[in-house]
Structures are given as structure tokens and as C-alpha cells.
Amino acid sequence: MTSYLLLPFAFVFHAALLTCEKPAPHVAGNKAIDSTNIIIEEQSIPKGEFYDDMPNAFDGELIMVPEDFVPIDVDTQPQFPGGQTALQNYMDKYLEIPRAVQRLKLNGKVYTSFIITETGEIKEATVVKSLQYNCDQAALTLINDMPKWKPAVKDGIPVSIRHYLEIPFDYRSH
């Protein structure tokens, strides 16, 4: 069974931090030099190509948050009806895996964002980080077709809140 992870609302990073980009390494003679001016490879490098195998804390897991996003401190987070296990079962049952996943041997996640209204309805589902167009569309269809959630609550009152959900695609599991 595939494991799904809800991105906790409390761990959203400040938008300014998320605009950081890693500078590309440059080539000097036969040396590839990364953004910290460390020689990372001394070999023959074709002109105009970059070599970069340096690890980077931002690689792979950076999620862009809209600049106008204002976090709301709530007493209880929204919940899929039946909880996390029910959400996982729903995704296993209703996520339509595009043929491109097998054909392209895709393995990764579509990071999504959507608003859960005070009535539990899903609105404004968007892809925050894309994997591949067909996977993105399958993820959005899955989210837009979800049943009503139990809404977030602040001071005893249901409130609308932006929620983040990772939807994995793996060619080996289908």
C-alpha cells in the first residue's frame, strides 16, 4: 500500500525563504565549479553544459507558497471523513494513474494545495509542484471529486483553511 503524507499546515515556510534559488555551477576550463566556488569535477566538460551533483537542501522538496498566503492558527485541523486511513483508501481507489507513468517510468509526487471551506467543501485546488502534466491533472481530478471534509475549527467556529497534500505516482506500483 502506498504511503501518503499530508503536509502539516504548521510547517509552512515564509514565502521569502521559498524564493531562494540555487545558482547554477559554471565551467572554468576543464573544471566545474559549484555555487560555493568548490571544484566539483575536473574533467573534460562539453562547452555550454553544467555538471552539478552537489546536494542541496532545497532540491526535491521545495514547495512554493503563494505570496498572499496568511497562515491561520486553528484549534483543530481539517480532516478527511474517516481520518487518514480513509483518505489513503480513497486515494488508492480513485486516483487514476495516467499511462504516462508507466511509459515514462515516473516516480515522484504532485504537491497540491486547496481550500477546505467552513462547510468542508473543496475549492481552488492547484498544483504547487508538478511531476508531469497528466499526473497533475489526475491529482486535481482526485481532489476536486473528494467528499466534504470535516472543516478546521478556531474558537469553536468552523473556518476555511488552505491545505496541502502530496499525491505520489510510482510506475513500479501499478
Residues 94 and 147 in one domain: yes
pLDDT of residue 104: 87
Q: Is residue 164 part of a domain?
A: yes
Q: How do beta strands 122-129 and 107-116 pair?
A: antiparallel
Residues 169 and 97 in one domain: yes
Residues 137 and 117 in one domain: yes
Q: Is residue 148 part of a domain?
A: yes
pLDDT of residue 15: 40
pLDDT of residue 85: 96
Residues 105 and 162 in one domain: yes
Report whether 146 contacts 154 (CB < 8 A). Answer: no
pLDDT of residue 65: 56
Residues 100 and 158 in one domain: yes
Residues 36 and 96 in one domain: no
Residues 32 and 78 in one domain: no
The CA-based diameter of the chain, rounded to the nearest angstrom, is 65
Q: Is residue 93 part of a domain?
A: yes
Residues 127 and 84 in one domain: yes
pLDDT of residue 12: 40
> d(Cα 26, Cα 32) in Å, to the nearest integer?
6
pLDDT of residue 74: 85
Overall domain count for the chain: 2
pLDDT of residue 103: 87
Residues 106 and 43 in one domain: no
pLDDT of residue 6: 43
> d(Cα 116, Cα 150) in Å, to the nearest integer?
9
β-bridge partners, 115: 123, 162
Residues 42 and 116 in one domain: no
Per-residue CA distances from 135 to 33, 54, 85, 100, 164 (Å): 35, 28, 22, 8, 16
Residues of the chain predicted below pLDDT 50: 1-22, 25-27, 30-61
Residue 40: give the domain boundaries: 22-57
Residues 154 and 73 in one domain: yes
pLDDT of residue 68: 54
